[in-house]
Amino acid sequence: MSELAGSTAIARALISPDLLNQAEAALQRKLAENPHDARALRGLGDLRRRRDEFGAALKTYRVLQHLRCDAMTNWLVAVASGERLPWPAPEGVQPSPFIRIKKLPQRGAAGAPPHDDVR
């Protein structure tokens, strides 16, 4: 097996629904033991966001926000809600394919930049 094929197989395994289900179960067990476990809440929110479950991710991030209101948690709440992102972004934040933006201006709408010019 080539190195690329091996890497692809590993990547596919890591994002398989079965592994995500196992991860969710493990995080839920941790939260049953300690509902204030910030690392478990962050992990569960991230997992839900990866599944495009933005409502559930937002609910989880808001619980985390009540426990630990920091720049990264505020950023995650904004990402999951589709609201305006706080700027500047917290240190270490990279562009992500897992964001949702509400009310994206239509191409050619007054005041809207052309979509290919959006930065």
The pLDDT tens digits of the residues spanning 36-83 come to 999 999 999 999 988 888 899 999 999 999 998 888 888 888 888 877
Looking at the domain assignment, is residue 36 inside a domain? yes
Looking at the domain assignment, is residue 51 inside a domain? yes
In the predicted structure, residue 108 carries a pLDDT above the cut 80? no
Q: What percent of the chain has pLDDT over 90?
A: 31
Looking at the domain assignment, is residue 58 inside a domain? yes
| Residue range(s) defining the domain that contains residue 67 | 9-86
Structure-model confidence comparison of residues 85 and 32, the more confident one: 32
| Structural tokens at position 69 | 């209101």
Q: How far is CA 43 from CA 64, 86, 96, 99, in A?
A: 11, 21, 16, 16
- Tell me, what amino acid is at 55? G
Looking at the domain assignment, is residue 3 inside a domain? no
Looking at the domain assignment, is residue 32 inside a domain? yes
Looking at the domain assignment, is residue 20 inside a domain? yes
Specify whether the CB–CB gap between 115 and 107 falls below 8 A.
yes
pTM above 0.75, yes or no: no
- Tell me, what amino acid is at 10? I
CATH of the domain at 67: 1.25.40.10
Looking at the domain assignment, is residue 98 inside a domain? no
Number of structural domains, the chain? 1
